[in-house]
Structure 1
Amino acid sequence: MNLYKVFTINPGSTSTKIAMFEGEKAVFSKNVSHDAVKLSEFKEISDQFDYRKEMILKELEEAGQTLEGVAAFSARGGGLVNIEGGVYEIGEKLLEHARIGYTVKHPATLGAQLADAFAGEYGGKAFVVNPPDVDEFTDVARVTGLKGIYRESRIHALNQKEIGIRFGKKRGKRYEDLNLIICHIGGGISVTAHEKGRMVDSNDIANGDGPMAPTRCGQLPVKDVIGMCFSGKYTEKEMRDKVTKTGGLVDHLHTSDARAVEEMMKKGDHYAKLIYDAMIYQIGKTAGAMAAVLHGKVDAVILTGGISYDPYVVGSLKEMLSFLAPIEEMAGEFEMEALAAGAIRVLEGKEAAKTYTGEPVWNGFPPA
């Protein structure tokens, strides 16, 4: 068995996660922290490229690691048009969209640029794997009650897909042959219906949808939100922040740390228990909706993400959802492992790398 050497790259707002794999085993990993003041000096995200690259190479040198002999550089990616899931070989169109942040301005867009640069210098292939831009929704899942406002896939695509693939392997089955409900429960919460290898419906973790989360508001009564917007009490930025940064547990309990909420509950804080139970309730409720999407044909409900380590959360969801299908616990996040595994599948010929064309898989419905 060829143990391919794969280097994975996952840039975040103030850090870049890197890891070296030999086969699917991580032999080195590091969360490279970046100085926030230094990052603020760069006008555009792509301007951070040289700085982040230098920091990565410095960390590798200090750890005695080398990029020589790396078979593939695999990155999270981002800023692309909506695409179907899979492993994409980095080409000029993908790089162009990553550099300008074609659809979103986020440091994740640096991943493809770094992977391509390292591959150019050291040899090997360069890939992005199931980036945040993956959108496999069915048309009917996109429609809302307002013409011109449509639902799009904004979920934890990388970890969601990896969990589905890993679960299939454990059961001796292909991910593409299973119907799964995967609940990623972390700083953001995505509850997704996987139908035969495609994420056909989910809640939108960025635009206010589905369960509330540690920092996110989740689904809200729209008329009341309109009232807040025009009350004069909040700026547009403050209202937008309530959706993804200061909503959820933060708004109710002034913390995004689920462990802190658990401590409040242990000390008899009844309001903390109410809010935490409500978050769990909303996760279960959304999972039930995804079961309907799958017409009740569900092979498993899988709990993943950091908060899935919490026995209270897991126990509560098992009580709510065990009538649907077996509940599987796969706590934590497997993003770096997913990046390596995707590259290895292509290198071994088990999956064909896709070409990014820059054409979205969905670009609105034709006029009525």
Structure 2
Amino acid sequence: MNTYKIFAINPGSTSTKIAMFENDEEIFSKNVSHDAEKLKEFKEISDQFGYRKQTILNELKAAGQSLENVAAFSARGGGLVNVEGGVYTVGEKLLEHAKAGFTVKHPATLGAQLAAAFAGEYGGAAFVVNPPDVDEFSDVARVTGLKGIYRESRIHALNQKEIGIRYAAKQGKKYEDMNLIICHIGGGISVTAHDHGKMVDSNDIANGDGPMAPTRCGQIPVKDVVTMCFSGKYTENEMRDKITKTGGLVDHLGTSDAREVTAMIAAGNQYAKLIYDAMLYEIGKYAGSMAAVLKGKVDGIVLTGGISHDPYVVEKLKEMLSFLAPITVMAGEFEMEALAAGALRVLRGEEALKEYTGIPVWNGFDGEPD
């Protein structure tokens, strides 16, 4: 069997995670830090490209790593129109949308740009694997009670898909042949129904949906939010921050670190216990709704993400969900492994490479009145 060298790239706000793999074995990894003050000098995210690229090359040189003979440069991606899951070649249209941040302004959009540049200089292919833009929702899952407001898939697509594939393999099955509920429990929380390889329903972690999370408010009574918006106490940006940055555990307990919360509970803080239990209760409740989406035919429930390391979390969710299906814990995040695994499947001919067209898989409903 051929050995493929794969370089994975995952840009974040002030760092870029990189890793070198030989097939599925990680031989080098580094979280490359970028000077926050330096990043402020760049007007647009794409303007950071040259600085980030050189910083990565410097780190590789210092570690004695080379990009020669890399078969694939595999990136997280982002800023694209909504797409179905899979591995995409970084072509002209994908690169155009990534550079512009066509749908969102986030450093993840630099992933495709870096992969394409490295592939151009060193040879090899440039891929994007299950980007944040993956949207496989069923039509009924999109509809809300207000015309013009739709539910869209904004979840941990890369890790969710990888966990689904890994779990199925452990059962001696294919991901496409199983019904799963996967709960990613970390800084953000996504609870997703996987129906034979498609993420048909979940919660929108960016727009205030689903369970409360460490920094996110989750689903709350909309009327009360409207009252807060027009109270004169908060600016629009402050209200938006309450949804994704300063809500959840931060708003209640002043921290987004679940370890600090468990320490509070251990010290006898009953309010901290109430809030933590409420978060777990909401996760369990939402997972139960995903079982209804799958019509009760659930092959397994998987807990992943960093907070799934906490035995208390696992215990509480098992109490709520064990009657539905077997529960497996695959704690942590597997994003870098997912980038390598996706590229490897394509290189081995196990998965077809997809082309990004720039045409969204969903853009409203046919026949919807104005």
Shared fold (TM-score, shorter chain, > 0.5): yes
Give the deviation of 1:2 after TM superposition.
1.5
Amino acid across the alignment from 1:134: V
Deviations 1:212-271 (A, max 9, x none): 000000001000000000000000000000000000000000000000000000000000
Q: In structure 2, what is the Cα distance between the partners aligned to 1:348 and 1:15?
A: 31
Match of 2:179 in 1: 179
> What TM-score does the superposition give when structure 2 sets the normalisation length?
0.99
User: What do the CA deviations read for 1:46-75 (whole angstroms, capped 9, x no partner)?
Assistant: 000000000000000000000001000000
Structure 2 equivalent of residue 203 of structure 1:
203
* Amino acid corresponding to residue 362 of structure 2 in structure 1: W
For the pair 1:257 / 2:257, whether they are aligned, the reply is: yes
Q: Which amino acid aligns with 1:315?
A: E
Residues 24-173 of structure 1: matches in 2 within 5 Å? 24-173=24-173
Aligned counterpart, 1:235: 235
Letter paired with 2:53: K
Q: Secondary structure at the match of 1:70?
A: coil
SS at match of 1:250: helix
**Identical residues among aligned pairs (%):** 80
Q: Does 1:5 align with 2:22?
A: no
Determine whether 1:351 maps to 2:351.
yes
Q: Distance in 2 between matches of 1:148 and 1:133?
A: 20
**Distance in structure 1 (CA, Å) of the matches to 2:102 and 2:237:** 22
Question: How much does 1:365 deviate?
Answer: 1.3
Corresponding residue for residue 311 of structure 1: 311
In structure 1, what is the Cα distance between the partners aligned to 2:34 and 2:217? 29
Task: Give, in whole Å, the separation in 2 of the partners of 1:116 and 1:87.
Answer: 14
Instruction: Give how far 1:344 is off.
Output: 0.3
**1:154-199 alpha-carbon deviations (Å, 9 max, x no partner):** 0000000000000011111000000000000000000000000000
Report the TM-score when normalising by structure 1.
1.00
- SS of corresponding position for 2:302: strand
Equivalent residue letter for 1:232: G
Cα RMSD after superposing both structures: 0.4
Deviation at 1:347, TM superposition (A): 0.3
- SS of the residue corresponding to residue 346 of structure 1 reads helix
Amino acid at match of 1:80: L
1:315-334 equivalences in 2 (<5 Å): 315-334=315-334
Match of 1:299 in 2: 299
Distance 2:230 2:215 in 1: 23
| Residue number in structure 2 paired with 1:270 | 270
Matched residue of 2:284: which SS? Answer: helix
Structure-1 separation of matches of 2:21 and 2:315: 34
Q: Distance in 1 between matches of 2:201 and 2:54?
A: 40
Residue 250 of structure 2 aligns to a residue in which SS?
helix
Match of 1:279?
Answer: 279
Q: Which amino acid aligns with 2:301?
A: V
- Which amino acid is 2:349 matched to? G
Corresponding letter in the other structure for 2:243: V
The residue type equivalent to 1:197 in the other structure is: G
1:105 CA drift (Å): 0.3
2: distance between equivalents of 1:3 and 1:350? 15
C-alpha displacement of 1:3? 1.9
Task: Return the alpha-carbon distance in structure 1 between the equivalents of residues 3 and 252 of structure 2.
Answer: 48
User: Aligned to 1:191, what secondary structure does the other structure show?
Assistant: strand
The one-letter amino acid paired with 2:193 is A
* TM-superposed deviation, 1:102: 0.2
Tell me the CA shift for residue 13 of structure 1: 0.4
**Counterpart Cα distance in 2 of 1:259 and 1:25:** 30
Q: Report deviation, 1:7.
A: 0.1
SS at match of 2:181: strand
- Per-residue displacement from partner, 1:133-170 (whole Å, max 9, x unpaired)? 00000000000000000000000000000000000111
1:57 is matched by which residue type in structure 2?
L
Structure 1 residue matching 2:304: 3-state secondary structure? strand
Distance (whole Å) between structure 1 residues aligned to residue 146 and residue 169 of structure 2: 41
Q: Write the distance in 2 (CA, Å) between the matches of 1:341 and 1:209.
A: 30
Deviations 1:105-147 (A, max 9, x none): 0000000000000000000000000000000000000000000
What CA distance in whole angstroms lies between the structure 1 residues aligned with 2:25 and 2:272? Answer: 40
For residues 83 and 339 of structure 2, what CA distance do their matches in structure 1 show? 17
C-alpha separation in 1, matches of 2:11 and 2:92: 20
Which secondary structure state, in structure 1, belongs to the residue aligned with residue 190 of structure 2? strand
Q: Which runs of 4+ in 1 moved over 4 A?
A: none
**CA–CA distance in 1 between the matches of 2:294 and 2:323?**
15
Give the partner amino acid of 1:237.
N
